[in-house]
C-alpha cells in the first residue's frame, strides 16, 4: 500500500490477539472494560484461560493510552502486536469485554498454541510460498467471509463457523500429512490455532500468514497482491478493500449485509 496516497482518518481500528496462560482471566474483565470507557475506546475483547483476542477503535491518542493500560493490567499484554488501519468513523457501537472458554472457538481441548504452531510467513514472503505448485493453501475463515474475497487459488473449507474446521481436517486432510499446507485468516488467531491443531495431529509442513490477511493487505502493493475481492471484518464496516478502505455504500449488497449482522460474529472475531 502506498501510504503517502492514503488520506489520514481520525480513527484507528486496532486488532490483536495473544495466546498466553491466564488462569485468573475472569479478574481481568472489569479493569479492561473500565479502561475502555476511561480511554473512550469502543470494540470487543474476548478473554479466556488461553489468552486474549479483540478489536477496538478510538483516536490515535486514546488507542495509545489503552495499549499502555493493557500492559499495566496484565504484564503479558505489554508486548502484544497490533494490526492497525485508520477509518473515518468508529465502526463499533459499544465497549465490551467477554469471558469465553476459548478466544477463538474451535471446540478442541489441549491444542498447544504457545509452543507448537506453524511456521510464520511474512507478507512479503507469502506470495512466493502460495505460488509453489506443491503447496495447499487453506483459508481457515468461514464460508460467508470467503464469499467476499480470498487469495488466488486458496481452498475454501466451506465451514459455517470455526468449530466446523476440525471435521474438515478429519474428512479432507488426514491423507496430506507430509504436504506443505499454508493457512490464512483475517488477523492471525484462527490460523494460529489451526496450524497448532494440525501439528498436534502429526502434520509436518504447516505454515501461516504472519499477521493475517489484514497485515498482508497493509504491506502488499496492490499491483503485487494475490488477494482477490474484499475482506470481511467483524465490525460495522462489514468489509474493506485491498487497500483496507471501507467499501463505498452499495458495494456490499444490503441484503447480504443484513443477513450477516456483525453482532452475531463477536466470538469468531479475527
- Burial class of residue 90, CB neighbours in 10 A (0-12, 13-18, 19+): buried
* CB 33, CB 21: distance < 8 Å: no
In the block, residue with C-alpha cell 455504500? 249
Q: Which residues contact 212 (CB under 8 A, 6 or more apart)?
A: 83, 184, 185, 186, 187, 188, 189, 191, 270
What residues form DSSP beta bridges with 53?
A: 17, 46
* CB 231, CB 214: distance < 8 Å: yes
Q: Is 185 a catalytic residue?
A: yes
Active-site annotation holder among 39, 57, 184, 185: 185
Query: Shortest CA distance to 218 belongs to which of 107, 76, 122?
Result: 122
230: Cα separation from own chain's centroid: 15
Convert 212-226 into a string of H (helix), E (strand) and C (coil). HHHHHHHHCCHHHCC
Report d(CA 31, CA 20) in Å as an integer.
Answer: 18
Q: How many CB atoms lie within 10 A of CB 77?
A: 20
| DSSP 3-state of 174 | coil
Question: Which residues are catalytically annotated?
Answer: 185
Amino acid at each position: 500500500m502506498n501510504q503517502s496516497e492514503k488520506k489520514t482518518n481520525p480513527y484507528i481500528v486496532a486488532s490483536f490477539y495473544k495466546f498466553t496462560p491466564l488462569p485468573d482471566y475472569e479478574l481481568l474483565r472489569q479493569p479492561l472494560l473500565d479502561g475502555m470507557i476511561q480511554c473512550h475506546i469502543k470494540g470487543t475483547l474476548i478473554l479466556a484461560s488461553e489468552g486474549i483476542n479483540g478489536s477496538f477503535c478510538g483516536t490515535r491518542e486514546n488507542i495509545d493510552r489503552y495499549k499502555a493500560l493493557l500492559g499495566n493490567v496484565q504484564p503479558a499484554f505489554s508486548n502484544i502486536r497490533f494490526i492497525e488501519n485508520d477509518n473515518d468513523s468508529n465502526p463499533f457501537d459499544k465497549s465490551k469485554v467477554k469471558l469465553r472458554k476459548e478466544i477463538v472457538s474451535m471446540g478442541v481441548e489441549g491444542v498447544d498454541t504457545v509452543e507448537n504452531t506453524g511456521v510464520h510467513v511474512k507478507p512479503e514472503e507469502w506470495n512466493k510460498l502460495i505460488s509453489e505448485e506443491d503447496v495447499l493453501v487453506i483459508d481457515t475463515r468461514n464460508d460467508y467471509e470467503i464469499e467476499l474475497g480470498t487469495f488466488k487459488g486458496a481452498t475454501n473449507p466451506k465451514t459455517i463457523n470455526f468449530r466446523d474446521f476440525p471435521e474438515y481436517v478429519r474428512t479432507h486432510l488426514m491423507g496430506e500429512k507430509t504436504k506443505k499446507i499454508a493457512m490464512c485468516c483475517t488477523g492471525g488467531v484462527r490460523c494460529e490455532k489451526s496450524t497448532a491443531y494440525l501439528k498436534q495431529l502429526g502434520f509436518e509442513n504447516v505454515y501461516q500468514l504472519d499477521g493475517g490477511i489484514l497485515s498482508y493487505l497493509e504491506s502488499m502493493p496492490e499491483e503485487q497482491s494475490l488477494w482477490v475481492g474484499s475482506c470481511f471484518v467483524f465490525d460495522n464496516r462489514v468489509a474493506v478493500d485491498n487497500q483496507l478502505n471501507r467499501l463505498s455504500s452499495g458495494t456490499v449488497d444490503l441484503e447480504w449485509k443484513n443477513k450477516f449482522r456483525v453482532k452475531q460474529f463477536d466470538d469468531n472475531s479475527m
